[in-house]
Copies of this chain bind each other. A is one copy, B any other.
Amino acid sequence: MLFDRSSSKPVNKGTILQREGDTHLKSYVVVKGLLRSYIIDAKGKEHIYMFGPEDWIVGDLQAAFIQGPTKLFVDALEDSEIIELEPAKEITDEMARTGLEKAIRRVGTLQNRVLMLMSATAWERYQFFLEEYPDLYNRVPQKMIASYLGITPQALSRIRSEWAKSIT
């Protein structure tokens, strides 16, 4: 899956690229840096849906495809370089093919995540994160890792300190 890297544009850390309710959704190819997508639930709590380090594609595939409003926010956790993929009026055969591949890769990621969330303890979830995003554990604040795992920052801190003890 190749993109024209010369057309990438810079976004500063903290920039919000997509908000809940937005339509005409783009997708974002991360050339450099780090994006994330997240929701804010009915109780006002933030839940990270996915991280987007280099080479990942971030966006709401589903809402973009059906041209409905999204529930997901997207913002930049680091100064980044991204390529914006415009929403298509007309889907070409070529687009369907590359889109299929992207969508299926996403299904795989989500499938693992669902199975993980249904069966894993907090400690196992942390292991899962370390495998899924090996280079992120010291790039993102722990409260965000916790949010991604569906646990509190305190619980994550506990896990890490027990783990540190266990290897002494």
Q: Using a CB-CB cutoff of 8 Å, which residues 30-60 of chain A contact chain B?
A: 39, 41, 43, 45, 47, 49, 60
Please give the count of copies of this chain that the complex contains.
2
Once the chains bind, are A41 and B119 in contact (CB under 8 Å)?
yes
Q: Indicate whether A137 reaches chain B with its CB closer than 8 angstroms.
A: no
Chain B's closest residue to A97 (CB) is B96
Q: Indicate whether A91 reaches chain B with its CB closer than 8 angstroms.
A: yes
Q: Indicate whether A130 reaches chain B with its CB closer than 8 angstroms.
A: no
Given contacts A108-B62, A114-B49, whether A150 and B97 have CB atoms under 8 Å apart is no
Number of interface residues of A (CB under 8 A): 34
Chain B's closest residue to A47 (CB) is B118
Once the chains bind, are A118 and B150 in contact (CB under 8 Å)?
yes
Residue from the list B100, B106, B119, B150 in contact with A119, Cβ < 8 A: B150
In the bound complex, residues from chain B placing their C-beta under 8 Å from that of A106 are 103, 107
- How many angstroms between the C-alpha atoms of A150 and B117 in the bound complex? 8
Once the chains bind, are A47 and B111 in contact (CB under 8 Å)?
no
Once the chains bind, are B61 and A107 in contact (CB under 8 Å)?
yes
User: Closest approach, in angstroms, between the C-beta of A121 and any C-beta of chain B?
Assistant: 11
- How many angstroms between the C-alpha atoms of A106 and B102 in the bound complex? 13
Q: Indicate whether A113 reaches chain B with its CB closer than 8 angstroms.
A: yes
